[in-house]
Amino acid sequence: MATNITWHAGLTRNERSELRKQKGCTVWFTGLSASGKSTIAIALEQHLLHLGLATYRLDGDNVRFGLNKDLGFSPRDREENIRRIAEVAKLFADSTTIALTSFISPYKADRQIARDLHADAKNTDSPLPFIEVFIDIPVEEAEKRDPKGLYKKARAGEIKEFTGISAPYEAPEKPEIHIHSEKTSVEEAVAQITKYLQDQGLLKIGS
């Protein structure tokens, strides 16, 4: 890390929030492949945008093919993948945008790093809200969905270190929001998350 750089203060987050009439936060979706993370995140993004709230979704399609295209799926690369995503999400949240991240993020330690980054108030006026959303589904149900045929390939040994089959998934112990996707519709999930954000004072709907 470079040591010859200096942080230059500009607008405070509170000033930016007042000017944009919105608060920033990160909504971190985690769960197995085919759990419904991206489907729910896409629907939530659309819903919040329709409410007039600046929202942006980060997922494998716009991160793995760009920012993180140099990373594979080893434990070390997965850790670096999540660290970079967390840093980018924090920047979006700091800009008073609602950042939605949709990644398996299988390791508790990596998700804790993401949470800690948002809690770090160094060079800022306050911590950033970090909402972990656990999209919970039994691996058997995820395999039945398997829209991309990934579980089938993993079972056949064609994909190495596949989460839930040949690599572990460490479920969150105390997520802010816990959704059982095999029992909850996309609309119900979006409503549940929206209500949580509103109850936390993170949405200024109708203002």
**Residues assigned a catalytic role:** 105
CB 45 within 8 A of CB 192: no
Distance, in Å, from the CA atom of 144 to the CA atom of 125, rounded to the nearest integer, reads 47
Please report the sign of the dihedral spanned by the C-alpha atoms of residue 155, residue 110, residue 88, residue 90: positive
Extract the tokens encoding 125. Answer: 């006026």
Side-chain half-sphere CA neighbours of 106 within 13 A: 18
Report the Cα–Cα distance between both ends of the chain, in Å, rounded: 43
How many residues does this entry show for the chain?
Answer: 207
Q: At what angle do helices 108-119 and 75-94 cross, to 10 degrees?
A: 30
Closest by alpha carbon to 101, among 52, 64, 143, 137? 64
Distance, in Å, from the CA atom of 128 to the CA atom of 144, rounded to the nearest integer, reads 37
Distance, in Å, from the CA atom of 193 to the CA atom of 176, rounded to the nearest integer, reads 10
Neighbours of 183 (CB within 10 A): 10
